[in-house]
Structure formats: C-alpha cells, structure tokens
Amino acid sequence: MPVTITDVQTILTQPAGSRLIVVKILTSEPGLYGLGCATFTQRFQAVYTAIHEHLRPFLIGRDVDRIEDLWQMAMVNSYWRNGPVLNNAISGMDIALWDIKGKRAGMPIYQLLGGKCREAAAVYSHADGGTNEEIEDSVRALMAQGYRYIRTQASGYGGRASRIPKPEGAVEGSYFDPREYVRRTLNAFEHVRNTVGEDIELMHDIHERLRPIEAVGFAKDMEQFKLFFLEDPLAPEDNAWFRHIRQTCTTPIAMGELFNNPGEWLPLIQDRLIDFLRMHISQMGGITPARNVAAMGHMYGIRTAWHGPGDVSPIGHAANLHLDLWAPNFGIQEWCRFNELVYEMFPGTPEVREGYMYPNDQPGLGIDIDETLAARYPCTNEIIGWTQARTPDGGPARP
C-alpha cells in the first residue's frame, strides 16, 4: 500500500524580523511527516491562503513518493503559473515531500540527490556601516569569526543619502540617490581593499537600485576590486542588459533571487551571461527545480549561490545546504546568522563554524519545528516600508 498524504498544515511564525511560512505534510504512516519552506515574508497571508484553500485539497490522498508528478501537476493545476505566491506554496509542498522521502529511505536528502561532493558548504555573511571605518570594522569582525567571504554594503541597499533636497509635497518613502550610492560604494571598497587587503573575498549587492546603463558602468568600475561576485545588478525585466555588462568587464555576476519563471534564467545560463545562480528556493518552486537548474548550470560552467537571508526559514536553509553538499558546481552559500530563539524553535538548524555550514546527517532535511514555541511568536502584518524606494525627485524606484 502506498503512503498517502492525510493533511497539509501551514505554520506561520515570526521569531525574528521575517514572517516565516512552514508547510507540514502529514501522512498515513503514523509519525511520518515532512517540513517545507514556503516563505514569502512580504505576502505571507496570500501564500497561506494558496496552501490552505487550494494546494491542501489537491494533495490529500496522493502518494507521497510521486514528487515529480505532484510538482508538475501542482504547477499547472491552477492553469496560471510561475508567480511568487503559488510558487512558494508549491515549494513548501516539494521540500516537505523530499523530507519525507529522505526519512523513508533513512538518508539525508543529499544522498538521494547523488551524495556529497564536499563535507561542508562555505558561506558568506554581511558587513555594513555608515562610514568607511565602520564598514572596515564590520568586515574585520566577520573575519575574526572565520568568514572568508563577505558581502559588503555602504549603508544598506542603495546607500542612505546624506542630504536629499526633495520637491515640495514629496510623498513619504525610502529615499536614496543612485549617483551618491555609486560614489560612496566605490570609495568604501577602495578603503576596505587598502586596509584589509586581498586575502578576503568581497561581494556587493546592487539590489537592482541602478538604471541599466548605470549598472553597466558600476560593474566596470568595480572590476578593479576583484569581487567574488556582484549581485543583482539588474532587475529581471532588464535581463537583456546582461550582455552589455559581459562585453564591458570581467566582474563576476550573481543573479536570480527575484526569478519565478524558467524563461528568466534559461537565456542567462545558455548565453553564459552570469556566473552564479542565486534563486530563492521557495520562489522558484523548491528542491525539484533547483536540482535541475544546478545540473544545467554545471554544463555551462555556472555555479550556485542560493539566496539565504533571514526571510528564508531554517527549513529553507537546510534545503539549500543539501543542494550545496551535492552540487559539483557549488559556489558559495549566503548565511543570515540566526539568533538563539530560531535554533530553539527549529531543532537541527544548520550550524556554521569557521565559515563553513555543516549538515547533521539525520534522515531527510534533518530539521524539525517546535510548534508550541512557534505559536508564541505569531506573524504581525505590516505595510512594508523598505520596498517603497524612491529617487531624489520622489519618483518610484525598484527596491
């Protein structure tokens, strides 16, 4: 008799800043369940509804072993597809089914993918500051903890403009000045390289804050600092501009956290226009599509660098880690440094020591959730402020 899905539960919790969405699939085998990440922190209620009202009735009674079949059918069951809400819902399902598969096999998921290519995954963390000296201190503090790869910003995404003369009646928003951001960032990287040296790998995230032609020039200007990669220089809508960056400089490019649709990443892989694949595992639909994209990237000499901020749940980070350990073309893994409460709420959350993330080698994902503790930290709804980006004249900008 096949093991079937008896219920699909959605757990919402907020142990830190981000609203996390966890999918729990219960089965007809007593005590057997799987956990998946469906975190879309800015629209968590929409994902909850998609799971509870649509995906749950679709899944109940289905065979847990048919991961590929269920993924394909869930993706097209709504007819309209490749959007962030439904993709996150499907990702929660997919990761939970892989968790169940590993538990039934008595193996970690990386074994089911083909086994380890490495013992641990090198990670990077984030340095920032309002002045060059603060940025340098932040970099050195991470180095002292064993990090050898550090993403370095100058006062956050797009910087924080010191003085913006807004027009009269300008609306509220998260203002930044693209030109000042470019100048301050170049100055900050010159300072860090001159003081910290060449032995540390540096990254930077534009976060789509520049117009395409500005991003092309910025990538060229950053070439002198020998970045490990420059992240999200363009918005997904501007993918055609990647060819101009490639023709202009050799700065390695990482892209993908906003991608939903294979049509967004396939041309960049096929034309070798990026160097690192940076998709958000739940945004793209889970382990199943990530495995396929990693394998394709390997054929084109492109490495992985999966999105790993605080708005990826610990379950999502565990899924990232299993892919990292398996993929021959692994590059680097982003790490957000969870607090102690998160580790208590999610037993088995991957641990980072001296710049490496290690698995615990338990079956499946190797992670669980304390639902009683999670319930003590319910999600709070809010109107997101930082995504209301505006340029000096008050015009709306991509965040």
DSSP characters over 328-348:
TTB--EE-----HHHHHHSTT
Domains held by the chain: number: 2
Query: What is the tens place of the pLDDT at every residue in 339-386?
Result: 999 999 999 999 999 999 999 999 999 999 999 999 999 999 999 999
Give the per-residue pLDDT at 112. Answer: 98
Residues annotated as catalytic are 157, 207
- Is pLDDT of 3 > 90? yes
Q: Calculate mean pLDDT across residues 261-281.
A: 97
Under 8 Å CB-to-CB from 379, ≥6 apart: which residues? Answer: 12, 13, 14, 19, 20, 44
Residues 196 and 247 in one domain: yes
Helix (H, G, I), strand (E, B) or coil at 177: coil
* pTM of this prediction exceeds 0.95: yes
Work out the average pLDDT over 2-26.
97
Query: What is the band of 16 on the pLDDT scale with cuts at 50, 70, 90?
Result: very high
The predicted structure's pLDDT at residue 289:
98
- Of the pLDDT bands very low, low, confident and very high (cuts 50, 70, 90), residue 161 is low
Looking at the predicted structure, is the pLDDT value of residue 128 above 70? yes
Same structural domain for residues 139 and 72?
no
Distance of CA 370 to the CA centre of its chain: 23
Q: Are residues 120 and 95 in the same domain?
A: no
State the average pLDDT over residues 88-94.
98
What is the domain-level CATH number for residue 36?
3.30.390.10
| Same domain, yes or no: 87 and 120 | no
Give yes or no for a contact between 17 and 8, defined as CB atoms under 8 angstroms apart: no
Predicted pLDDT of residue 157: 92
Percent of the chain with pLDDT over 70: 99
Rounded mean pLDDT, 99-121: 98
Q: Please say which residue of 106, 128, 145 terminates a domain.
A: 106
Query: Do 152 and 248 lie in a common domain?
Result: yes
Taking residue 3's Cβ as centre, other Cβ atoms within 10 Å add up to 14
Could you tell me if residue 375 is inside a domain?
Answer: no
- Indicate if 185 and 311 belong to the same structural domain: yes
- Examine residue 371 and state whether it is found in any structural domain, yes or no: no
pLDDT at 137: 98
Q: What is the DSSP string of 360-374?
A: ---SBT-----HHHH
Q: What is the mean pLDDT of residues 127-153?
A: 97
Share of the chain above pLDDT 90, in %: 94
User: Residue 165: its pLDDT value, please?
Assistant: 84
Residue that finishes a domain, picked among 85, 106, 127: 106
Convert the pLDDT of each residue in 291-344 to its tens digit.
999 999 999 999 999 999 999 999 999 999 999 999 999 999 999 999 999 999
CB atoms within 10 A of CB 312: 26
Place 168 in a pLDDT band, splitting at 50, 70 and 90: confident
Burial category of 382 from C-beta neighbours within 10 Å (exposed 0-12, middle 13-18, buried 19 and up): exposed
Same-domain check for residues 101 and 236 = no
* HEC readout, 69-131: HHHHHHHHHCCCCCCHHHHHHHHHHHHHHHHHHHHHHCCEHHHHHCCCCCCCEEEEEEECCCC
pLDDT above 90 (res 159): no
The CA distance from 224 to 155, in Å, is 21
Crossing angle of helices 212-222 and 178-196, rounded to 10°: 10
Q: Tell whether 48 and 116 lie within a shared domain.
A: no
- Statement to judge: residues 284 and 349 lie in one domain: yes
Q: Which of 106, 138, 173 is the last residue of a domain?
A: 106
Residue 393 in any domain: the answer is no
Q: What is the CATH number of the domain that holds 222?
A: 3.20.20.120
Q: Are residues 284 and 268 in the same domain?
A: yes
Give a yes or no: residue 321 inside a domain: yes
Q: Report whether pLDDT(392) > 80.
A: yes
Instruction: Look at strands 5-13 and 20-27 and give their pairing.
Output: antiparallel
233 and 357 fall within a common domain = yes
Residue 217 scores a pLDDT above 70? yes
Q: Are residues 185 and 40 in the same domain?
A: no
Domain extent at residue 340: 112-365
H or E segment to which residue 195 belongs: helix 178-196
- Label residue 393 exposed, middle or buried (CB < 10 Å: 0-12, 13-18, 19+): exposed
Residue 255 lies in a domain: yes
CA 194 – CA 182 distance, rounded (Å): 18
Residue 212's alpha-carbon distances to 90, 143, 243, 336, 389, in angstroms, are: 32, 33, 11, 28, 17
pLDDT tier for residue 162 given thresholds of 50, 70 and 90: low
Distance between CA atoms of residues 45 and 39, nearest Å? 10
Among 100-109, 159-168, 207-216, 219-228, the least confident range: 159-168
